[in-house]
Amino acid sequence: MSYRDVHRMRKNCLVIFVKSPIPGQVKTRLSPPLSLQESCQIYQAFVHDILKMSSRIPVECKMVAYSGDSDHFKKNIPSHFGLIPQGEGDLGDRLSRVFKWSIRQGFSRTVVLGSDAPSLPNEFVDRAFQLLKKNDLVLGPAWDGGYYLIGLKGPFIPLFKGISWSTRKTLLQTLLKAKKLKKKVEILSPWYDVDSYGGLRFLSLDFLCARSLRVHSARTYEIMSSLGLLGNHP
């Protein structure tokens, strides 16, 4: 294998941000009406389905960036995913740390996904990597004003300072910062995160309308059904 072949193999890295599934620390906005334990079950299902979807993305490196107990993830994450800690700080600090890590490893295009969009089609992630060939930054806008995906083409862009995280201003502030930095940006189609009980009800309707989603997000469908959150499906 030539040097050029090795270099080409280190182009793309996909990173999934996850938290330790501890009741009272994940998906707390689903409770009430769900219990904290039920909310945690939902979150675990989200992570399972997002990792399953990510397994179908044809990239050279797949990582899980975790917050919490590393032992849990060593036991429960598929072996074809590597593990890196997110570290401390706000979301901007943690994103910066992971993107810098990816650049140091030699990956020129890195896409980060959260763990709040179990229904996200894998085609969106494929598209993000394609768009990074000709752009510095790719964002997947979420309906709540944030984003479900962010991709950067190295070298690292100092993009994450002064952003109001988890607000309706997050995406807009990020776009303004990118413009100030004179970076070329592409936007994916909007999608929805499931952060609240209203978002969970929307996901339930999505399951009702799209049979294929029940396969795509099978664990989430199973858990929501067991908790009586889906109603009657044809």
Q: Express each pLDDT in 172-194 by its tens digit.
A: 999 999 999 999 999 999 999 99
How is the chain split into domains, by residue range?
3-194
pLDDT of 156 strictly over 70: yes
User: 18: Cβ–Cβ under 8 A, 6 or more apart, which residues?
Assistant: 47, 64, 65, 66, 67, 73, 115
- Can you give the pLDDT at residue 13? 97
Cα 35 to its chain centre, rounded Å, is 24
- Can you give the pLDDT at residue 75? 87
- For residues 187 and 124, the answer to whether their CB atoms sit within 8 Å is no
**Topology of the domain comprising 3-194:** Spore Coat Polysaccharide Biosynthesis Protein SpsA; Chain A (3.90.550)
Point out the least confidently predicted range of 22-31, 38-47, 151-160.
Answer: 151-160
What is the maximum alpha-carbon separation in the chain? Answer: 58
Picking from 108, 9, 21, the residue whose alpha carbon sits closest to that of residue 66 is 21
Amino acid at position 29, single letter: R
Dihedral sign (CA 79, 62, 139, 169): positive
